[in-house]
Amino acid sequence: MKNRFDLIIFDWDGTLVDSIDWIVQSLCKAAEVSGCTVPDEQAVKNIIGLSLEKSTDTLFPTINQKTKQQLMTCYSQEFFSKQVSKNDLFVGINNMLVELKQKGFQLAVATGKNKVELDKAMQGTGLSGFFDITRCADQTASKPQPDMLDEIIEHTGVRRERAVMVGDSIHDLKMAMNAGIASIAVLCGANSQDQLQQFNPLLNLQHTTQILDIL
């Protein structure tokens, strides 16, 4: 697989940052505060990667607009009550990105966060300088629509067959499939290997940093 790709597109939560448990905890607390039925852990994990609005619609399809807005506000307040730092990165992520840049790869992020949230998270983790382009859920269509990847590929000028999506959720891999690009699944985040395998990733890696051994 060496020399197959020029562009590596990463998901954020659960792929670069060890944030899945905090997302689950924050959303469950927001549901409780808003008077909604608290979803189970796996149900929350299954929506990670979608935009917040799409996540809310999926988990709470019957709530009214006022309750929906309250829930989203409570979630954002709870999630951002924790200051994201370099300590929240999976072990070895910073060094991995340094090495990939040194090898000449273009790097990008495609995330269900909005742009303000991603900028804050990048500042806290110190990863801002590594990426040629990022795309967020408030800039274009949410995962699993292919728009994020289409726009990243157009910006970088990389041929579609030379791009790969690295992600931990079914929405990451389905987005890659919809965009017609290869994907690599990582098993350190939201979904299991059985859940991810249906989208035919090239590989299933236990940890994101293992891509250094194959690319």
Q: How far apart are CA 76 and CA 14, in angstroms?
A: 18
Report if residue 148 sits inside a domain. yes
Domain co-membership, 150 together with 50: no
Distances (CA, A) of 197 to 109, 183, 184, 210: 22, 11, 10, 18
- The pTM of this model reads 0.93
Q: What is the CATH number of the domain that holds 39?
A: 1.10.150
Residue 46 lies in a domain: yes
**Are 39 and 111 part of one and the same domain?**
no
Q: Which of 35, 51, 79 is the last residue of a domain?
A: 79
72 and 111 in a single domain? The answer is no
145 pLDDT band, cuts 50/70/90, is very high
Nearest to 96 by CA among 163, 13, 17: 17
Regarding whether 208 and 109 lie in a shared domain, the answer is yes
For residues 46 and 146, membership in a common domain is answered with no
CB-CB neighbours of 16 under 10 Å: 30
Residue at 52 is within a domain: yes
32-86 pLDDT per residue, tens: 999 999 999 999 999 988 889 999 999 999 999 999 999 999 999 998 888 899 9
Same domain? For 34 and 132 the reply is: no
Three-state DSSP class for residue 156 = helix
Residue 201 sits in a domain of what CATH number?
3.40.50.1000
Give the domain-ending residue among 47, 79, 111.
Answer: 79
| Counted domains in the chain | 2
* Cα R_g (the chain), whole angstroms: 17
- 154-170 core/surface letters (b: 16 or more CB in 10 A; e: else): eebebeeebbbbbbbbb
Q: What domain range is 188 assigned to?
A: 7-18+85-213
- Residue 13 β-bridge partners: 17
Tell me the pLDDT tens digit for each residue of 189-209: 999 999 999 999 999 999 999
Do strands 204-205 and 182-186 pair parallel, antiparallel, or not at all (unpaired)? Answer: parallel
**Structural domain includes residue 1:** no
> Do 117 and 12 lie in a common domain?
yes
Question: Cα torsion for 38, 136, 96, 7, to the nearest 10°?
Answer: 130
Q: Residue 114 pairs with which residues in a beta bridge?
A: none
